[in-house]
Amino acid sequence: AQTVTQSQPEMSVQEAETVTLSCTYDTSESDYYLFWYKQPPSRQMILVIRQEAYKQQNATENRFSVNFQKAAKSFSLKISDSQLGDAAMYFCAYRSERYGGATNKLIFGTGTLLAVQP
Partner 1 sequence: GAVVSQHPSRVICKSGTSVKIECRSLDFQATTMFWYRQFPKQSLMLMATSNEGSKATYEQGVEKDKFLINHASLTLSTLTVTSAHPEDSSFYICSVGRVDTGELFFGEGSRLTVL
Closest approach of partner 1 to the CB of residue 40, in Å:
12
Q: Is 90 exposed, middle or buried (0-12, 13-18, 19+ CB in 10 A)?
A: buried
DSSP label of 81: S
C-alpha torsion 78→80→60→68, nearest 10 = -20
Rounded to a whole number of angstroms, the minimum distance from the CB of residue 43 to partner 1 is: 5
Minimal distance, residue 48 CB to partner 1, in Å: 13
Which residues in this chain contact partner 1 in the complex, by CB under 8 A?
Answer: 33, 35, 42-45, 47, 91, 95, 100-111, 113
Closer of 16 and 46 to partner 1 (Cβ)? 46
What are φ and ψ of residue 84, in 5° steps? -60, -35
